[in-house]
Structure 1
Amino acid sequence: MIWLTWRQFRVQTLVAAIALVLIAAYLVYLGMDIRDAHDAYRARCASRPADCPSALAQFRSDHESTLLFLAAGLQLIPIVIGTFWGAPLIARELETGTHRLVWNQSVTRRRWLAVKLAFVALAGAALTGAASALLTWAARPFDETTGDRFSRIMFGARDIAPVGYAVLAFALGTVVGLLLRRTLPAMAVTGVAFIVLQFAFPNMVRPHLIAPEKATLPMTAQAINGAQNMGSITGGAVIHGLAVPGSPGAWVSGISPFRTADGRTLSGARFDECLNSPQRTGADGKFGDTAVCLARLNLHVDVAYQPKSRYWAFQGLETAAYLLLAGLLTAFGLWRIRHRVS
């Protein structure tokens, strides 16, 4: 049975091996380039401390777009595995009727499915895990310097989480193929379903895997100038991209609107007044006079955040959740093929 599965899957294995070699070659080159740039950044900071902020900004801008693109590309690998490896695995056999030949031999249905699932799932996990390990190694100086390990795209392309994604995508594709019994519809449904899952889990589930820490941050001019942006499409008195003092690299999962000293939300009209027509003070900083205007109102925000020390806890919990879902799908598939597929 293992030999038969290998014979059926050898072309995909060869393509995956060639792709992995090409990925490895590029990521080794990129990793060395990032390390050279990181050494130059540290040397510039050591010789001219005043230049550290600009040196960090240059280091970040030189590599951020490339690493974001690679992280997004790595998250496509599980989709490819689920769509092109998982969905056709059983659907093609049922569609063409070749499953009857195996079932008329000494191999049981469950063993037939279990061997296929184990062989291809291990191949998918190995491919994704190797690509993830290479990208994690290449990006390590950048991740340690910028502290962006919790960002939605970066988190899903580092360390062990991608392995869980790959195994779940494959199990999902296999079960969808088993249910639909047609290859092309199964591939389409698998691709769409896993893309939805990749969007929903980081936004709706990940923030609640561990109860966040909470803090109240006074909105001084300096704190406001450290944010990424302010305002919203609906005109809310909100601020985004704050850092938590004393907890560098923390993942800020929630920020309240601006609140006054008595705990009320700052009115949209007062916020717009500072945003659009603040008193001219000649203040510098990212938001300049707007930051000074808001700081005079004695505002604060309540934040929920995860310290960076919880990074591996989140990696483990998310990977375990995906593997558990994959296990449940596998169990359903083994039951289905025994009792419902003729």
Structure 2
Amino acid sequence: MTGTTTTAVPVAERARVGWGDLVWLTWRQHRWAIAGLLGASAAAILLALGLAWHVGATGDTSHLVGRWRFVGLGQTLMLGPMVIGLVIAVFWAAPLLSREYEQRTHLLVWSQDVSPTRWLAGKVVALGVPASAAAVGLGLAVRRLITSTNTAMSGYAALGTFETPAYETAPVVQVGYAVFGFALGVALSAVTRRTVLSMGLTLGLFLAVRAVVSGAWRPHFREPLRVVEPYDPTYAGTLAAVGDNALIVSSGFADSAGNEVAFPAECSNVEDNLDYTRCVRENDVRFFTDYHPEDRLVPFQLFESAIFTVLAAALFALAFTWVRRARRV
């Protein structure tokens, strides 16, 4: 009788879950969402570049706007840089943690050898990087479309560099919007633990912050310049003085020293245009315009991106702190 011996095969043990494992897990969980956003962004980018090439080659811009006051394809694409950050915030980030809490899958993940903060960091990296890349790519493509359209229209009804959506197409601005939206959604998702609630709050707060920064704060990032011109009912002199691409902050009536004054009461009831202009000039009333010149565009974009980056950092800190301290039940 012949005896046989067996040798046990050593079992490889993993010391800990690595960052690559976390990224792979996030990809497996959210691959359809990632593929959907990147696919939609790629399609929009190709359409924008195709329209830009067509406009540049033919000079025809009629297809960019819709007939009978309907929105055209070009107009829709130009809205992309304004809404992609909102889409990332509401549909990617807001359900990220709340869905885990609602389905209680976080109990399985956090019972393994991975901390909640490392698990969340893997998700933030795996989802935040492609989201930012999609936002930057779409912004650059729409910028190319706007440039081609402005060139073809020879300045007529062209979009100025400070105007929406031309201002928002800058890569640094797009990154700021995307990172802020992602951080806002993650923070609200961690705090509320409810998917629908976090999506609704993210939608409202994202729009509110964007409105405050762009509408109320952006014109006052720096002290505006003031130009004072003799009153001209056509405003042609003022437009020539400030430039086509300037950001107009405010305008009104001023004296010869540039101080804002009230409109002369004796000119209020004058109906004839010539008499109206003569009355204004006889009262030595001039027209002032507060504005930001075009050379402030890049500093404004950098400053605005810094605002959203700081807000995003604070929101990420809130999210990670909340996840680390929260009960796991």
TM range (shorter): 0.7 to 0.9
Quick check: 1:123 aligned with 2:130? yes
Per-residue Cα deviation, 1:181-204 (whole angstroms, up to 9, x for no partner): 000111111011111112111122
Q: Match of 1:160, SS?
A: helix
Native 8 Å contact 2:81 2:169 kept in 1: yes
Native 8 Å contact 2:146 2:166 kept in 1: no
Q: Match of 1:239?
A: none
Per-residue Cα deviation, 1:268-313 (whole angstroms, up to 9, x for no partner): 7445434xx115x5xxxxxxx7656645543223332211111111
Q: Match of 1:12?
A: 33
User: Hey, what's the Cα distance between the residues in 1 that align with 2:197 and 2:52?
Assistant: 40
User: Hey, what's the Cα distance between the residues in 2 that align with 1:28 and 1:271?
Assistant: 53
Q: Match of 2:245?
A: 249
Q: Structure 2-normalised TM-score? A: 0.80
Q: CA deviation at 1:261?
A: 4.7
Q: CA deviation at 1:69?
A: 4.2
User: Hey, what's the Cα distance between the residues in 2 that align with 1:204 and 1:246?
Assistant: 21
243, 253, 258: which one pairs with 2:253? Answer: 258
Q: Match of 2:239, SS?
A: coil
Q: Note the 1:1-342 alignment, pairs <5 A.
A: 1-36=22-57, 38=59, 69-143=76-150, 145=155, 146=158, 148-221=160-233, 224-226=234-236, 243=239, 245=241, 247-255=243-251, 257-261=252-256, 263=259, 265-267=261-263, 269-270=265-266, 272-274=268-270, 277-278=271-272, 294-295=280-281, 297-342=283-328
User: Hey, what's the Cα distance between the residues in 1 that align with 2:276 and 2:79?
Assistant: 35
Q: CA deviation at 1:70?
A: 3.2
Q: CA deviation at 1:131?
A: 0.5
User: Hey, what's the Cα distance between the residues in 2 that align with 1:2 and 1:271?
Assistant: 70
Q: CA deviation at 1:211?
A: 2.7
Native 8 Å contact 2:181 2:206 kept in 1: yes
| Residues 199, 266 of structure 1: alpha-carbon distance in 2 compared, 3 angstrom cutoff | same
Native 8 Å contact 1:85 1:170 kept in 2: yes
The gaps in structure 1 that reach 5 residues or longer are: 41-58, 228-241, 282-288
| Letter in structure 2 aligned against 1:330 | F
User: Hey, what's the Cα distance between the residues in 2 that align with 1:182 and 1:176?
Assistant: 9
Q: CA deviation at 1:170?
A: 1.0
| Residues 212, 244 of structure 1: alpha-carbon distance in 2 compared, 3 angstrom cutoff | farther
Which stretch of the first structure deviates more once superposed, 208-217 or 24-33?
208-217
Native 8 Å contact 2:226 2:290 kept in 1: yes
Identity among equivalent positions (%) equals 25
User: Hey, what's the Cα distance between the residues in 1 that align with 2:48 and 2:315?
Assistant: 33
Per-residue Cα deviation, 1:143-186 (whole angstroms, up to 9, x for no partner): 57446110244312344312211111111011101111000111
| Residues 291, 173 of structure 1: alpha-carbon distance in 2 compared, 3 angstrom cutoff | farther
User: Hey, what's the Cα distance between the residues in 2 that align with 1:183 and 1:196?
Assistant: 20
Q: CA deviation at 1:108?
A: 0.7
Q: Match of 1:252, SS?
A: strand
Task: Give the 4+ runs in structure 1 shifted more than 6 A.
Answer: 59-65
Per-residue Cα deviation, 1:105-134 (whole angstroms, up to 9, x for no partner): 111111011111111111110111111011
Native 8 Å contact 1:31 1:138 kept in 2: yes
Native 8 Å contact 1:260 1:297 kept in 2: no
Native 8 Å contact 2:228 2:254 kept in 1: no
Native 8 Å contact 1:167 1:326 kept in 2: yes
Per-residue Cα deviation, 1:307-330 (whole angstroms, up to 9, x for no partner): 111111111111121112111111
Instruction: Mark the structure with the bigger radius of gyration.
Output: 2
User: Hey, what's the Cα distance between the residues in 2 that align with 1:330 and 1:323?
Assistant: 10
The gaps in structure 2 that reach 5 residues or longer are: 1-21
| Residues 291, 335 of structure 1: alpha-carbon distance in 2 compared, 3 angstrom cutoff | same
